[in-house]
Structure 1
Amino acid sequence: MKRILLVEDNIAIRENTTELLELANFQVIAACNGQEGLEIALTEKPDLILCDIMMPEIDGFHLLEILRAKSTFEKTPFLFFTASAEQSEIKKGLAAGANDYIIKPFDADELIELVSKYVGK
């Protein structure tokens, strides 16, 4: 079973997204901010990271930067999960090394399809 690290500070979005991914047979490890996400990533080594951008402690861009600097995470798919549909934010994330992004609110099928594209089922 593929393990997804979900880093999202909004509890309702975090819980709903966790449930959607678990129903699609992914194992989800959830973090409520970037600092917790970093600690979990380093110990759990997930197959994919789904990360909000605007969060307390460490934002998504900084989390991506920290993880990409470590050889263990050079190839780990990192997807931004953001309410910001601004092209500048999307371009900044992709330039920083993110593999893809999904804009909130999202369609459940779209989320599952995107995650599956990077880690399979």
Structure 2
Amino acid sequence: MKRILVIENIASLLDNISEILEMENYYVLKACHATEGYELACRDNPDVIISAINIGEMNGTELFKVLRANRKTRNIPFIFITTCVQKREVEYGLSLKPYAYIAKPFSYETLLSVTANAVRKRRKQRGDFYREFDGIHSMIQCVATSLI
């Protein structure tokens, strides 16, 4: 099942987003602040992270940087959802190169479309990794067999 981590400090919005994603058969992990989101991302390795920018003690852009610095979480597609629409803030958010940057209010259709595309990207990344690993494993077995 596809796992989505949603980090949002507004409880009603967190519940609404989670419900919409669950209706589309996503397994949703919920966090109401960055620290909890970071812990869930590291522990559960979700397919996609959707995060607000203003989420408490550590904001979403800081969380994004910390997750990108972590080997385990650096390749998870990250979607910002935000009310930040001032040009400078938007440019900064985009300069970090998240998977997507969605301004609130947004339609659920937009969120679902962007999320589905991000999941496909993540699944492709994982598939490429495992195909590469299987190829290396096969080469090692061939070399080992020839040495025996």
Report the counterpart of residue 37 of structure 2 in structure 1: 37
Report the counterpart of residue 53 of structure 1 in structure 2: 53
Map 1:20-99 → 2, pairs under 5 A: 20-99=20-99
Report the counterpart of residue 111 of structure 2 in structure 1: 111
Aligned-residue CA RMSD in angstroms? 1.4
Give the percent of matched residue pairs that are identical in Structure 1 and Structure 2: 35
Higher helix proportion (structure 1 or 2)? 2
Q: Secondary structure at the match of 1:71?
A: coil
Instruction: Give distance in 2, aligned partners of 1:74 and 1:87.
Output: 26
Letter in 2 for 1:100: A
Q: TM-score, normalised by structure 1?
A: 0.93
Contact 1:77–1:118 under 8 Å retained in 2: yes
Letter in 2 for 1:114: V
Instruction: Give distance in 2, aligned partners of 1:39 and 1:73.
Output: 11
Provide Cα deviations, 1:34-68, integer angstroms capped at 9, x if missing partner: 11111111111111000000121211011001000
Deviant stretches of 4+, over 4 Å? none
Contact 1:53–1:59 under 8 Å retained in 2: yes
Q: Which runs of 5+ in 2 are unaligned?
A: 121-148
Q: Secondary structure at the match of 2:101?
A: strand
Q: Which runs of 5+ in 1 are unaligned?
A: none
- CA shift, 1:71, in A, is 1.6
Contact 1:82–1:102 under 8 Å retained in 2: yes
Q: TM-score, normalised by structure 2?
A: 0.77
Contact 2:42–2:73 under 8 Å retained in 1: no
Q: Secondary structure at the match of 1:73?
A: coil
Instruction: Give distance in 2, aligned partners of 1:39 and 1:55.
Output: 15
In terms of mean alpha carbon deviation, does 84-93 or 103-112 score higher? 84-93
Q: Secondary structure at the match of 2:14?
A: helix
Provide Cα deviations, 1:83-119, integer angstroms capped at 9, x if missing partner: 1222322221222231111111111111100101111
Report the counterpart of residue 11 of structure 2 in structure 1: 11
Instruction: Give distance in 2, aligned partners of 1:100 and 1:89.
Output: 14
Contact 1:64–1:97 under 8 Å retained in 2: no
Which one scores higher on RCO, CA 8 angstroms, separation ≥ 6? 1
Letter in 2 for 1:112: L
Q: Secondary structure at the match of 2:72?
A: helix
